[in-house]
Amino acid sequence: MACLGGTRSSGGGSCCCAHPRRAQGDVYPLDLHEARAGYSCSLESGLHQTHPSGAAVLVGGYRWGAAATPKFAIVPLLRRRARVIMGCRDRARAESAARDILAELGPCAAGSAHDGDLLVRELDLASLRSVRRFCHRVLQEEPRLDVLINNAGIFQCPYTKTEDGFEMQFGVNHLGHFLLTNLLLGLLKSSAPSRVVVVSSKLYKYGEINFDDLNSEMNYNKSFCYSRSKLANILFTKELARRLEGTGVTVNALHPGICRTNLGRHVNVPLLAKPLLSFVSWAFFKTPLEGAQTSIYLASSPDVESVSGKYFGNCKEEELLPKATDDLVARKLWDISEVMVGLLK
């Protein structure tokens, strides 16, 4: 067992999202055996069979860079003739990423009957205004939506607020996706059978939902507030699945694994520890391609066509802690989130 370490939060009180038995600080247990175990998924019967005419897939919150996990989810979807919409905060970087993705497809990308379309659209999940503008455009331009992948993630950033005044991790990781999904539900329902895929994290285990301080204004611990946002992802998934029963729209959450991406750019690592962490990451962490497998599986496999409200890791359903299956908390979080994003006044 190893640990990722970083700076400790200021303030003497307990963090609103701290695990009651864990000291405050940017420290999580890291199971190196689990990190790369069982990443491979069988996708022999993929998206082209589930949606023969070519699926419309929206990736909300594309993270750029050569090591971005979403890139490796998008490539196989395009090869299955999907029409993929990348929602990205930085359009210039996103267009560069799109060129990389098309290059990854190789010479068959131009005019091949086996490749789909890739579109770049501006989407900043830290701005509810941007989310509404993005969804308005999607609803105007797209006749169908077969898969929505809620992918954006802010990890252990210093205390900052979104454009709308929400704590950044909760605002982007939960509220931004909450509004995005709700505004596109009508299109998803009319396109049924369709799917919502929510990228969460096994670190949800260290989060707690404190309704008295959802904005972390009394105390902020960046590690445990990230975990709280990931717990919120799962509670959102459970409640949305309940509300979508009988509609033909399924929703499932997943843990992508510990991947070699730039998601941890805000983690403070002592200078002398960086070479060790670099070695550990290359030796034990999943590659972005491996980390994308469960997202691809939930987006495309007929094995989960009628499965909803579940949590997956390494393309297999995993059991959740009781705090992630509390229906009363899930419904209360939904009701409060509706007010926070302006769906209810």
If you search the block for the tokens 């929602």, which residue do you land on? 87
If you search the block for the tokens 């992508």, which residue do you land on? 256
Contact present, 199 and 151 (Cβ < 8 Å):
yes
With a CB cutoff of 8 Å and minimum separation 6, the contacts of 1 are 29, 30, 31, 32
**Alpha-carbon span 32 to 209, nearest angstrom:** 28
**311 carries an active-site annotation:** no
Contact present, 71 and 104 (Cβ < 8 Å):
yes
Contact present, 20 and 46 (Cβ < 8 Å):
no
With a CB cutoff of 8 Å and minimum separation 6, the contacts of 204 are 227, 230, 231, 233, 234, 321, 324
Helix ranges (H only) for the chain are 32-35, 47-50, 69-79, 91-105, 128-141, 168-170, 177-190, 222-243, 274-284, 288-291, 293-300, 327-340
Query: Choosing from 206, 220, 226, 297, which is the catalytic residue?
Result: 226
What the block records as the tokens of 11 is: 């303030």
Whether residue 193 is preceded by a cis peptide bond, meaning omega within 30 degrees of 0, is yes
**Alpha-carbon span 253 to 330, nearest angstrom:** 14
Of the candidates 73, 35, 70, which has an alpha carbon nearest to the alpha carbon of residue 285?
35
What the block records as the tokens of 284 is: 């034990």
The residues annotated with a catalytic role in the active site are 226
